[in-house]
Homo-oligomer: A and B are copies of this chain.
Amino acid sequence: MSDRYEVRLSGAGGQGLVLAGVILAEAAALYDGINAVQTQSYGPEARGGASKSEVIISDSDIDYPKATAIDLLLCLTQEACDKYTDDLKEKGIIIADSRMVKELPDGNYTIYSLPIIDTAKEKVGKTFVANIVALGVIAHLAEKVSFDSVLQAVLSRVPKGTEDLNKRALQLGYELIG
């Protein structure tokens, strides 16, 4: 199972996490040529406004598509960070929005607190590309997916006419980590 890489994207409904999950899975599968499964689970908590999307990437077949030992967790809201830290691996990575997430979990994790939403709002001018800024960060940190693959997947999924905006968002996200 060591070649299995698990990502959970969490936040609130409306932040585009389903689309981000689809893009990440397609980057891995269609452009990097490895297997990917992308899942949304909607339980009672979804009706409270929290949202999550998971992506499993693996060189081998993926028999069990739910995340069980998460390598990388994105949290765009405090509520999501409180709710979805379960299943994060020891030494796993947390990427948290620095404005929204003020209380980070204790534990043996690598935490990046980054201005994801502010970057979308102030540098791109559109808060709704925060999901793409986050994908830029993930492309920097996640094993198994390359920036170019994520870029191709972004460009094939976003609405026509928004390609430049989204490319800029992805690039700025990538550069949030030195």
Interface set of A (CB-CB < 8 Å, partner B): 18, 22, 25-26, 28-30, 33, 35-44, 46-47, 61-62, 64-66, 159
Contact = CB atoms under 8 A, between A and B. Distances in A.
Contact of A35 (B18, B29, B38, B42): B42
A22 B40 contact: yes
B42 A28 contact: yes
A36 B64 CA distance: 17
A118 to B, nearest CB: 25
A42 B37 contact: yes
A18 B64 CA distance: 20
B42 A36 contact: yes
Contact of A39 (B29, B33, B61, B65): B65
A14 B42 CA distance: 25
Given A38-B39, A38-B42, A43-B61, 13 more contacts: A25-B42, A26-B42, A28-B42, A29-B43, A29-B47, A30-B46, A30-B47, A37-B39, A37-B40, A41-B62, A64-B64, A65-B65, A65-B66
Contacts of A18: 22
Contacts of A43: 29, 35, 61
Nearest to A66: B65
Given A22-B18, A159-B159, A42 B30 contact: yes
Nearest to A44: B35
Contacts of A62: 41
Contacts of A28: 42
